[in-house]
Structure 1
Amino acid sequence: MTLVAPTVADCEASADLAALLVRTTKGDAISVPAEQLRLSCKCAHCTRARFDGRFPVAFPGIAITEIGDLGYGLNISFSDGHNRGIYPKPYLLSLAGR
């Protein structure tokens, strides 16, 4: 028997744009808040801002404005103009505690 870890099958922004709604290949439905996604961005810009102590501790009211599926992950754009982050699908599931 081969065990296969679930991965992202489909996703969309919630109606209020405050969360990413994810469906996995195992049929689970997961919601990841937009603020958690923005705080978890690992792009070079955000990594450098953390290193320099310039990264915000919160993004209240942040919204998802666009989602691009790259196959291996999602490129998510936010209402603060940030659009550099790529979230690999296993990383998205780890953010949701899966």
Structure 2
Amino acid sequence: MTITLVAPTVTDYEVSADLSTLLVRTTEGDALSVPAEKLRLSCKCAHCTRARFDDRFPEAFPAIAITEIGDLGYGLNISFSDGHNRGIYPKPYLLSLAGR
């Protein structure tokens, strides 16, 4: 008998009605949420990484909203109301941000 362990992944997603939260569903049937501000603060794109390195990255993004989501298969490209649209969030990273 062979047992194969597969990590849970994101199967579906949507943005809350007020655009402040990303709601995700997993292969295990969990419904999880990640606030837009947490997503924006957790962006690992080159621009945000450089801004952190140069000590120019904001400490908060009050009232930030999710404006668009592109599904790349392995992750989501999330755009925000401050115009930032470079962040790609791999599905395992999204689950870690949601506390899974």
Q: Please tell me the TM-score bracket, short chain as reference.
A: over 0.9
1:28-47 mapped onto 2 (5 Å cutoff): 28-47=30-49
Q: Percent of aligned pairs with the same residue? A: 88
**Which of 69, 82, 85 lines up with 1:83 in the alignment?**
85
User: Residue 24 of structure 1 corresponds to which residue in structure 2?
Assistant: 26
Distance 1:10 1:68 in 2: 12
> Number of matched residues?
98
Alignment counterpart, residue 8 of structure 1, candidates 7, 10, 19:
10
- Output the TM-score relative to the length of structure 1: 0.98
**1:35-89 Cα distance to aligned partner (Å, 9 max, x none):** 0000000000000000000000000000000000000000000000000000000
Q: 62, 65, 69: which one pairs with 1:63?
A: 65
Query: Residue deviations 1:9-60, cap 9 Å, x none?
Result: 0001111000000000110000100000000000000000000000000000
Moved over 3 A (4+): none
Runs of at least 5 residues in structure 1 that lack an aligned partner in the other structure: none
TM-score (norm 2): 0.97
